[in-house]
Chain A
Amino acid sequence: MQQLLYAAEVSLNGLTTGVLYSLVALGYVLIFKSSGVFNYSQGVMVLFAALTLVGLQRGQVPFAHLWTAMFGTHTYFFGWTLAPAIAVILTLGIMVLLAILVERLILKHLVNQHPIILFMATIGLAYFIEGFGDLLWGSEVKKLDIGLPVGISETVEAWTAEWFGYGFFIDRLDLFAGLVAAVLVGLLTLLLRYSQLGRTLRAVADDHQAALSVGISLRLVWVFVWSAAGFVALVAGIMWGAKSGVQFSLSLIALKALPVLMLGGFTSIRGAIVGGLIIGVGEKLFDFLAGPIIGGATENWFAYVLALAFLMFRPQGLFGEKIIERV
């Protein structure tokens, strides 16, 4: 019984982590679905969004190290702090600006090129944003605090203690992130499924040339999806940043998003969510059950093994769009 309750607690923790994986995976899905580009830079966008948010909120001087090196100014802070809400809105504005620049400087010139070329371009973009983010805001580890609930949720602990005689330890931030992600996903699904914009996005995803031919402006669509991906990156950045601090390793959660995508399918928002949850719960449970036997540290590879298994039996993922082939 005790073991079972432990397992339940571990799974719950897995679920909340999984939601965060889903959030990152969502960014990939949005761009892939509507432009057929696998955006390698999504993970770095998460980092960049979080860095920018912290920088704006703390009133950091942009390029402070650069100015110091050139002119010896040594001013790193303006000396003000912004309200979290304002900082979030400003950051969102910057992510939209980034989307516009990406379209202007990169995508516009690569219309109708082979997907692999666009993929290579996003690799370049990833390294650029990474370096640019460091230059802009400095590379030290920063604390992100915009007043999100933190700590162990006593309510959950009290409830579960009452019901099962064993108090679950669940982080409040995780609960909150789960809620936010759920709402976000719901909205995005509705938008894509039923709105005219959603239809346009799906049309572009299917056939660039045909979309052009009916008068759809690819450029507008791309700015929109990259902005949306920027927004999702910001949300993911806030949650992960609040959890583990804003630093380079934040961009590595992209590595966790990959198996999520393989599992859930690159083109399905639902898939990103369910995939994230499966991997979140799966890796925690596996570590709990099999970890002691094989010596632990399974969390790093379990997701990939699971994804590989999926690739063998269902290459389009759980909810991915079937490749339509008429015979």
Chain B
Amino acid sequence: MRADRQDGLPTMKIRDSSAIGETLLSVNNIEVIYNHVILVLKGVSLVVCEGGITALLGGNGAGKTTTLKAISNLLKSERGEVTKGSILYRGQTIQDLSPAELVRRGVIQVMEGRHCFEHLTIEENLLTGAYTRKDTKAEIRNDLELVYGYFPRLKERRRAQAGYTSGGEQQMCAIGRALMSRPETILLDEPSMGLAPQLVEEIFTILRNLNEQEGVSFLLAEQNTNMALQYAHTGYILESGRIVMDGSAKELRENPDIKEFYLGMSESGRKSFRNVRSYRRRKRWLR
């Protein structure tokens, strides 16, 4: 194993990267407990910068979804609770705000597994996204066309019941619905779940366009590390409820550990599981 790994770990220097603006969202050392007993997050800290795509990577059960739900405050309805730490959006504490208030402030979550309103048509689904807005019908109509512009497939299927559309279309519908709230930050949970690789690429390309053209910031929870690191600016690796690594997407892509354990690439051929264990032993806790 490489001896330089301890020093080779990236530091937090990405924050002053030129591509991304000031800090929008900062999660500071939060701990989340479900049902008063199950400790899921054991101190997670991360920063989402304005105009950036921040990837939150990790395997099953690492705590990605919980982190997003802690931010969007959907956790409360699932008997979860942030017991330690703080979550700030534009410098203000948002832990006690309702999900609706957060949507009004520009933070909206697209949940894992799409969660479209099955019996509503695609267009009706999109319109529910504008629920918190007080804008005129014309403005909302306008945004609807904007969403159709990014997702032409949705326009074709606008009158179809969402439950009968394909997985990809549902994912697009869920993202489009979130866009209808005119968000500043979208918390996007596993957009690639259960979709064909080609479709995943299509969706990620649209995300990049949205990011570049509409200036929407993303916090993207993904298992598909390879894809996420191609499109994200910065990334965090979450393991068993802790952030174990962070850095710019480029640094993470090139990091030998990430290559080996998340991207499945290795310079020395196939690895045995013994090495995985040794990696786990030597892994560094950031906090």
- Same complex for A and B? Answer yes
Q: How far is the CA of A207 from the CA of B178 in the complex (A)?
A: 15
Contact assessment for B117 and A203 in the assembled complex, using a CB-CB cutoff below 8 Å: yes
0/1 interface trace, chain A 29-70, chain B, CB 8 Å (1 if under): 000000000000000000000000000000000000000000
Contact assessment for A206 and B117 in the assembled complex, using a CB-CB cutoff below 8 Å: yes
0/1 interface trace, chain A 163-177, chain B, CB 8 Å (1 if under): 000000000000000
Which one of B77, B118, B131 lies within 8 Å of A214 (CB-CB)? B131
Distance of A281 from chain B, by nearest CB (Å): 30
Distance of A224 from chain B, by nearest CB (Å): 14
Asked if B74 is at the interface of the complex by the 8 Å CB criterion, the answer is: yes
Across-interface contacts of B109 in A (CB, < 8 A): 213
Asked if A200 is at the interface of the complex by the 8 Å CB criterion, the answer is: yes
Asked if A216 is at the interface of the complex by the 8 Å CB criterion, the answer is: yes
Contact assessment for A215 and B164 in the assembled complex, using a CB-CB cutoff below 8 Å: no
- Of the stretches B37-45, B119-127, B148-156, B216-224, the one at the interface is B119-127
Contact assessment for B163 and A212 in the assembled complex, using a CB-CB cutoff below 8 Å: no
In the complex formed, the residue of A with least CB distance to B104 is A215
Across-interface contacts of A216 in B (CB, < 8 A): 100, 128, 131
Q: Determine which residue in B77, B174, B177 has the highest number of CB atoms from chain A within 10 A of its CB, and name it.
A: B77
Asked if A139 is at the interface of the complex by the 8 Å CB criterion, the answer is: no
- Per the 8 Å Cβ criterion, residues 216-253 of A in contact with B are 216-217
Q: Determine which residue in A196, A199, A213, A216 has the highest number of CB atoms from chain B within 10 A of its CB, and name it.
A: A213
Q: Chain A contact residues (Cβ within 8 angstroms of B): what range?
A: 20 to 34
- Per the 8 Å Cβ criterion, residues 123-178 of B in contact with A are 124-125, 127-129, 131-132, 161, 163-164, 174, 177-178
Contact assessment for A214 and B129 in the assembled complex, using a CB-CB cutoff below 8 Å: yes
Across-interface contacts of B241 in A (CB, < 8 A): none
Given A199-B127, A326-B163, A215 contacting B132 (CB threshold 8 A): yes
Which one of B98, B110, B161 lies within 8 Å of A217 (CB-CB)? B98
Distance of B73 from chain A, by nearest CB (Å): 9
Distance of B268 from chain A, by nearest CB (Å): 44
Contact assessment for A212 and B77 in the assembled complex, using a CB-CB cutoff below 8 Å: yes
Contact assessment for A213 and B116 in the assembled complex, using a CB-CB cutoff below 8 Å: no
Distance of B161 from chain A, by nearest CB (Å): 7
Q: How far is the CA of A324 from the CA of B115 in the complex (A)?
A: 13
Q: How far is the CA of A112 from the CA of B111 in the complex (A)?
A: 15
Across-interface contacts of A210 in B (CB, < 8 A): 111, 115-117, 174
In the complex formed, the residue of A with least CB distance to B115 is A210
Given A199-B124, A214-B178, A321 contacting B77 (CB threshold 8 A): no
Contact assessment for B120 and A199 in the assembled complex, using a CB-CB cutoff below 8 Å: yes
Across-interface contacts of B104 in A (CB, < 8 A): 215
Asked if B252 is at the interface of the complex by the 8 Å CB criterion, the answer is: no
Across-interface contacts of A314 in B (CB, < 8 A): none
A-B contact count (CB 8 A): 83
- Per the 8 Å Cβ criterion, residues 73-125 of B in contact with A are 74, 77-78, 98-100, 102-104, 108-111, 115-120, 124-125
Across-interface contacts of B248 in A (CB, < 8 A): none
Asked if A202 is at the interface of the complex by the 8 Å CB criterion, the answer is: yes
0/1 interface trace, chain B 257-276, chain A, CB 8 Å (1 if under): 00000000000000000000
Q: How far is the CA of A214 from the CA of B125 in the complex (A)?
A: 10
Asked if A155 is at the interface of the complex by the 8 Å CB criterion, the answer is: no
Given A209-B74, A212-B74, A216-B100, A324 contacting B164 (CB threshold 8 A): yes
Given A203-B117, A324-B161, A213 contacting B74 (CB threshold 8 A): yes
Asked if A111 is at the interface of the complex by the 8 Å CB criterion, the answer is: yes
Across-interface contacts of A199 in B (CB, < 8 A): 120, 124, 127-128
Contact assessment for B119 and A202 in the assembled complex, using a CB-CB cutoff below 8 Å: yes
In the complex formed, the residue of B with least CB distance to A216 is B131
Across-interface contacts of B102 in A (CB, < 8 A): 215
Contact assessment for B115 and A212 in the assembled complex, using a CB-CB cutoff below 8 Å: no
Across-interface contacts of B110 in A (CB, < 8 A): 213
Which one of B119, B131, B177 lies within 8 Å of A206 (CB-CB)? B119
Across-interface contacts of B66 in A (CB, < 8 A): none
Which one of A207, A217, A326 lies within 8 Å of B117 (CB-CB)? A207
Across-interface contacts of A111 in B (CB, < 8 A): 77
Q: Determine which residue in A111, A210, A321 has the highest number of CB atoms from chain B within 10 A of its CB, and name it.
A: A210
Contact assessment for A209 and B120 in the assembled complex, using a CB-CB cutoff below 8 Å: no
Q: Can you pick out 14 interface pairs between chain A and chain B where the beta carbons lie within 8 Å of each other?
A: A112-B77, A112-B78, A196-B127, A209-B115, A210-B116, A211-B128, A213-B115, A214-B131, A215-B99, A215-B131, A216-B100, A321-B119, A324-B119, A324-B163
Q: Which residues of A contact B (CB under 8 A)?
A: 111-112, 196, 199-200, 202-203, 205-217, 321, 324, 326
- A213-B109, A213-B111, A214-B177 are known; give 15 further A-B pairs, CB within 8 A: A199-B128, A203-B117, A203-B120, A207-B115, A207-B117, A209-B74, A210-B115, A210-B174, A212-B99, A212-B100, A215-B100, A215-B181, A217-B100, A324-B161, A324-B163
9 tightest A-B CB contacts, nearest first: A215-B103, A324-B163, A210-B115, A215-B132, A206-B117, A215-B100, A112-B77, A203-B117, A203-B128
